Structure 1
Amino acid sequence: MSNRNVTIKKICKLNRETIRSNNQPDYINYLDTGNITRNKIDEIKNLINGIDKFPSRAQRKVQKNTIIYSTVRPEQEHFGIIENPIENLIVSTGFTTLDIIDETIDAKYLYYSITNKSITDYLNTIAANNVTSYPSLNPSDIGDLILQIPSNKIEQQKIAKVLSDLDAKIELNNSINDNLSKRN
């Protein structure tokens, strides 16, 4: 298996599209940074224009396979991949969105690559050294990442499937453990 080095900003469009205050949809399904952890969504708020006030940070549009990565406190692991977004899903500007523009890259593989512990720790170090009131990243910090990935997309997909299957088994075990602890 041969690998190649890729720079995120060369294979992804960062923060591809935003909604504007003068062109807001009738409703949005809003995902804030605190409502997703390690690809597990806790809550999506349905907000209706004219009835609910849209949060000022509700601006980033997502599409199929958009990767979202919180730019605040990376160690909290508020990131995920939106494989099949619901209609009008908008995420906070607290996320950097990554949309793959290189057809040789598998989105799920890239998600696992940029969310592995060593990358999260690296980004957390950058965030901690930022001169702001709280640890935060710039989108360019993510865009400048250089990753080594398999050259063959099929190999990427195989690796991503194994990791995804492991995640599903861990989630199932956690659910079983939760149910067992409720019985006691």
Structure 2
Amino acid sequence: MPNGWCKTALSEIITLLSGRDLQPTQYNSFEKGIPYITGASNIDNNTIIINRWTTAPITISHKGDLLITCKGTIGKLAFNSVGDLHIARQFMSLQFIEPLVSKYLFYCLEERISAIKQMDNGLIPGIDRSIILNQIIQLPPLAEQYRIVAEIERWFALIDTIEKSKEGLETAIKQTKSKILDLAIHGKLVPQDPKDEPASEQLRRINPKAQITCDNGHSRKLPQSWTWVKGKNIFAPMKSTKPTNEKFQYIDIDSIDNKRQIISEVKTIKTVNAPSRANRYTQKNDVVFSMVRPYLRNIAKVTNDNCIASTGFYVCSSIPQILHPDYCYYLMISDNVVNGLNQFMKGDNSPSINKGHIDEWLFPLPPLAEQQRIVQKIEKMFFILDDIQNALEV
């Protein structure tokens, strides 16, 4: 230890008071009497939350004491900042004897909470009084305790600033991606090429019966070579299928990582245990769009052939001569599509849309060549943003 420091047991420098439970008839919830706390739920982010009061003539803790939860959820710490306070037996109150800076002890205990928890051998988690009283700490001179606390809090403040900056940057990345997609599906991300075959002509050539909606609204204005088209005219009809082998690959809602909008896990299930909803045929590059709570954005591109998806999904299988599969994916995760389809939700417990809503929804369709340019541009920009995102997570 540095010169001037010493080792001491906490029993030499604190008074430790144990809490005492009250009967339900001894406390109330209408702010009459002395505040009363009963468990870990009364501590949030090292701050005391009061929701009970008592008129019982017993006060256990005083302002400035350090409280620690010692039964059930153990090891939560908070200073008594409210004044006279009655504590249940789930708490112990540490009262300080000079020369000790209370926050110095707080940081000492916070640093060794994990070790203290491991000393508990009971069926119900608990911290015995002796464990706290026998803790040995290294005690610097009083003035140095103040300097140590100040330095710890300076660094913690800097860390908090960095964390908030990270959160702000993550939000900005998310908003930027959303804006990129919005520009992309409105023809503002890449320049148009007059040599491209207009999307309407491509559509008529591939599907003469397709219903093509003219661009006749200012708020829905698209570039000259683009067109509005219903989902049923750009997606191949969904197919029903049943698993036939001993096992099959299954995609359900739990398979989707809706933060990254990818399939995080394709489940392997025995055919005899196949859920009744395992019925949607999918192939590689299809996009599955959950019709149950669509606002949760359980949307992803299928990466394997021969998977079966839940009937809770609309399977967007691109007609190749009309719709690029990657453009289809970016189209389906865009706010324009997700927020637009949300308006059709019905139901209280699991609000949902149905197949007809996507079939009849109007999608902005650029020429196929421009779809490819849009995809290349999006992926280039998303690569940079993902690189920044990954750096924040290191």
Please say which structure displays the higher CA radius of gyration: 2
- Counterpart among 304, 313, 331 of residue 85 in structure 1: 304
Across the two proteins, how many residue pairs are aligned to each other? 169
User: Which deviates the most, 170-179 or 24-33?
Assistant: 170-179
CA RMSD, aligned part only? 2.1
Q: Distance in 1 between matches of 2:228 and 2:244?
A: 39
Distance 1:30 1:170, change over 3 A: farther
Say if 1:174 and 1:106 are closer, same or farther in 2 by CA, change over 3 A.
Answer: same
Residues 173-184 of structure 1: matches in 2 within 5 Å? 173-179=388-394
TM-score (normalised: structure 1):
0.81
Equivalent residue letter for 1:99: S
**Where in structure 2 are the equivalents of 1:24-173 lying within 5 Å?**
24-36=244-256, 37=258, 38-50=260-272, 53-82=273-302, 84-86=303-305, 88-101=306-319, 103-127=321-345, 130-131=346-347, 133-150=349-366, 152-173=367-388
1:73-126 CA-partner distances (Å, limit 9, x unpaired): 1111101122x414x311111101121235122121122123211221111121
Q: Specify every segment of 5 or more residues in structure 1 that has no aligned partner in the other structure, as ranges.
A: 180-184
For residues 99 and 42 of structure 1, the distance between their equivalents in structure 2, rounded to whole angstroms, comes to 20
Deviations 1:14-73 (A, max 9, x none): 42x2223xx6222211111132125322222112335xx122222212113211100011
8 Å Cα contact 2:289/2:298 also seen in 1: yes
Contact kept? 1:26, 1:48, Cα under 8 Å: yes
Cα gap change, 1:167/1:18 in structure 2, threshold over 3 Å: closer, same or farther? Answer: farther
Name the amino acid aligned to 1:13: A
Q: Is the 8 A contact 1:5 1:148 kept in 2?
A: yes
In 2, are the aligned partners of 1:12 and 1:102 still within 8 Å (CA)? no
Q: Distance in 2 between matches of 1:173 and 1:30?
A: 33
What does residue 18 of structure 1 align with?
Answer: 240
The amino acid across from 2:350 in the alignment is Y
Paired residues of 2:228 and 2:364 also in contact (CA < 8 A): yes
Identical aligned pairs, as a percentage? 26
Q: CA deviation at 1:170?
A: 3.6
How far the C-alpha of 1:12 sits from its partner, in A, is: 1.1
Q: Is the 8 A contact 1:8 1:145 kept in 2?
A: yes
Query: In structure 2, what is the Cα distance between the partners aligned to 1:100 and 1:72?
Result: 21
Contact kept? 2:277, 2:312, Cα under 8 Å = yes
Q: What letter matches 1:110 in structure 2? A: C
Change in CA separation of 1:8 and 1:102 when aligned onto 2, cut-off 3 Å: farther
Measure, in 2, the Cα distance between the counterparts of 1:90 and 1:158: 31
More strand by share: 1
**How far apart are the structure 1 equivalents of 2:379 and 2:261?**
11
Higher relative contact order (CA 8 A, sep 6+): 1
Structure-2 residue corresponding to 1:182: none
Does the aligned pair in 1 maintain the 2:255–2:267 contact within 8 Å? no
Cα distance in 2 for partners of 1:97, 1:19 equals 13
> Residues 55 and 140 (structure 1 numbering): CA distance in 2 closer, same or farther, change over 3 Å?
same
